[in-house]
Chain A
Amino acid sequence: MIPAAISALLLQLLHVALALAAAPLLVGSTRFAKSRLQGRRGPSPIQPYRDLLRLLRKETVLAHDASWIFRVTPYLVFSIMTVAAAMVPMFVLDLPLARAGDLIAIVALIATARFFQSLAGLDIGTAFGGIGASREALIGSLAEPAVLMVAFALALVAGTTALPAIARFVLSGGVGVEVSLALALIAFLIVAIAENGRVPVDNPATHLELTMVHEAMVLEYSGRNLALIEAAQMLKLLVFISLISALFAPWGMASAEDGLDFLEVLAGIAVFGLHLLVAAILIAAVELAIAKMRVFRVVEFLGGAFILAVLAVVFRFVTEAS
């Protein structure tokens, strides 16, 4: 038998390694599914790996007036996203690092990454970087209250903000057809779309549009810096999808409470892969069905998410009181 501490460590390492490996594949399969739905053949799902490798081999070009912020940001953002990915349960409920932070800590981590990315966008002083940074700040300032409200609604339902505890509560089946949870889920989906810059908030497939947000902000990056930023963005999508699956559909996850079963972990990984596949197809289908909205409509879109989350809290309050 392996001692518990070492097996936990191994599990955590496996978790991080899988997250890092799965993120580009997730983005690749989303693009693949989207192009198939559009009737194109599309690049193979493993294309993002090749892109990242190519970027890593390329030379890095820095602007003359780039300060240390610009140079540090890619490493910072990537490591922050890795930490966030390490804390979100993906195929095992109780990770050693899951105790390090709850839902609010993860929101704060993502906000920190966004803060540095916006600073880097402003740092080199090009017009596009500034536009992207200001729009990112706009989206962030609207998305964060909404996601915090979702966290409060979940905390009211489950009595905690710790991710494994919420997942366990949902698994226990004590919720039934819970309206607050459904409202919180819709709000969280909207926030996830906005945070990851997917259609209808931002178009991830374009580099040449006046309305782009994320791509405008990272326009000046090249070489390995760009590779890190892109990998971080892929990780972010993975983090949000695994947050959704951990909070609202945690079925099939291995529980580490009573010693780990090898088969259980394997089953957990399989279910998680299934979740990612479903998410990729859903994202592709939604992106085909709707058009990108004007930047100023995003305010209403995210305001809607905030209002849904507030309603989730109010409904929970009504149920509690009765």
Chain B
Amino acid sequence: MFSTIAYDLSHLAGATVLLAGFVVLYQRRLLGVFRAFALQSLAVAAAAAWQAYSQDAPHLYVTAAIAFLLKGIAAPIALNWIVRRLDIHRTVETAVGIGPTMLAGVGLVVLATLLVLPVTVSSAALTRETLAIALSVVLIGFLVMITRRNAITQVVGFMSLENGLVLAAVGVKGMPLVVEMSVAFSLLIAFILFGIFFFRIRERFDTLDLQSIESFRGERR
């Protein structure tokens, strides 16, 4: 019976991650988006910790701890701080309406499922499902980045995309720790860079709406 519980629990954690991705898509308030992202990171941490326990791979505990501390706690606090510091308008500005975005999200989940299932016929059921969910999370992260105008929500999309990558990484056996560490730290550095850019963009254009940068580059006239 142990195998089914292991299966069910990782299935549950994966589904929570995906669901939190949809909550990020659904939210209209920036603080709600951060909270949903924190929930997603916590679910990723739980998934990693559970895999570490069930696969008996202690290095995955490190992954779980990184996801928990860095993305579950530090990143949302930092984002909150940036929003308060820059005094940003706290509604999410969307390029496409919420409804169509959600529909596109469901389409991406179906796409990911159809894509992963035939490719991984030979692997175990758990791996296939985790991969399908992880690919959906990655695609939804892309979708968030595409459909949001504000730079700060695009960063949240980027980090939830990385959550999907971590989910895929912990689901497959034999992922070396070095790779995960470097991914986590590159994310941290990217986050710091984004933070600096926020201040620079804000100073230059008085807004974080990236449309004004496009017109500045001469892409729109």
Contact = CB atoms under 8 A, between A and B. Distances in A.
Q: Which secondary structure characterizes the binding site on chain B?
A: helix
B92 to A, nearest CB: 13
Interface in B118-133: 125, 128-129, 132
B164 interface: no
A176 B8 contact: yes
Contact of B26 (A300, A318, A322): A300
Contacts of A322: 117, 125, 128-129
Contacts of B11: 177, 179, 319
Contacts of A308: 19
A304 B22 CA distance: 9
A304 B105 CA distance: 11
B106 A300 contact: no
Interface string A166-198: 000000000011110011000000000000000
B12 A177 contact: yes
Interface in B158-186: none
A321 B117 contact: yes
B127 to A, nearest CB: 9
Interface stretch (A12-20, A65-73, A246-254, A309-317): A309-317
Contact of B15 (A179, A299, A300, A304): A179
B129 A319 contact: yes
A178 B109 CA distance: 18
A303 interface: yes
A30 to B, nearest CB: 28
B106 A318 contact: no
A315 B15 contact: yes
Contact of A300 (B98, B113, B125): B98
Nearest to B13: A179
Given A315-B15, A318-B117, A319-B129, A307 B8 contact: no
Nearest to A304: B26
A315 B106 CA distance: 12
Interface in B96-145: 98-99, 102-103, 105-106, 109-110, 113, 117, 125, 128-129, 132
Contacts of B9: 177
B207 to A, nearest CB: 26
A177 B8 contact: yes
Contacts of A300: 26, 98-99, 102
B5 interface: yes
A318 B102 contact: no
A318 B105 contact: no
Contacts of A318: 113, 117, 128-129, 132
Nearest to B23: A304
B113 A314 contact: yes
Contacts of B19: 183, 308, 311
Interface in A290-313: 299-300, 303-304, 307-308, 310-311
Given A182-B12, A304-B22, A319-B11, 11 more contacts: A176-B5, A177-B8, A178-B8, A179-B11, A300-B98, A300-B102, A307-B22, A311-B19, A318-B128, A318-B132, A322-B128
Interface of B: 4-5, 8-9, 11-12, 15, 18-19, 22, 26, 98-99, 102-103, 105-106, 109-110, 113, 117, 125, 128-129, 132
27 contacts: A176-B5, A176-B8, A177-B5, A177-B8, A177-B11, A177-B12, A179-B11, A179-B12, A183-B19, A299-B99, A300-B102, A303-B102, A303-B103, A304-B102, A307-B22, A307-B106, A308-B19, A310-B106, A311-B109, A314-B109, A317-B113, A318-B113, A318-B117, A318-B128, A318-B129, A319-B125, A322-B129
